Amino acid sequence: MDDHEARGLLEGRRTELERIRDFAREQLGPAPGEQELATYDQHPADLATDTIQREQHLSEIDMASESLREVEEAMRRLDAGTYGVCEVGGERIPDARLRALPEARTCVRHAAEAVV
């Protein structure tokens, strides 16, 4: 994979992650109880549902933000000439993996070992 294709993939991934993060922020809204003067008229199950949805949106924001940091780091590796090299074993990361996950730091084998 050449640098031009890699940069395009990373920029596309950045745009996708920013869209996900921004959408989750829009959906977040105020914390349960912040928008109403009193919560006594709400059923506890409704408050629980609101809380769960808020936690899901916060989790989406965190995950997208972390992935955005990974994309930015991958851009730095691209500029430094080390993009596409496994940080553990030093071998080339297959193009298919980089196309699926442009910010990948490791090959599939080393990524799987890190999970175990």
Number of domains in the chain: 1
Distance of CA 70 to the CA centre of its chain: 8
CA separation for the pair 1, 21 (Å, rounded) = 28
Domain range spanning residue 81?
A: 3-32+44-115
pTM of the model: 0.78
pLDDT per position as a tens digit, 40-80: 556 666 667 777 888 999 999 999 999 999 999 999 999 99
What's the rounded Cα separation, in Å, for the pair 88 and 100?
Answer: 19
- Decide if 13 is inside a domain: yes
- The domain that holds 72 is classified in CATH as 1.20.120.910
**Cα–Cα distance, 49 to 85 (Å, whole number):** 44
Question: How far apart are alpha carbons 66 and 59 in whole angstroms?
Answer: 11
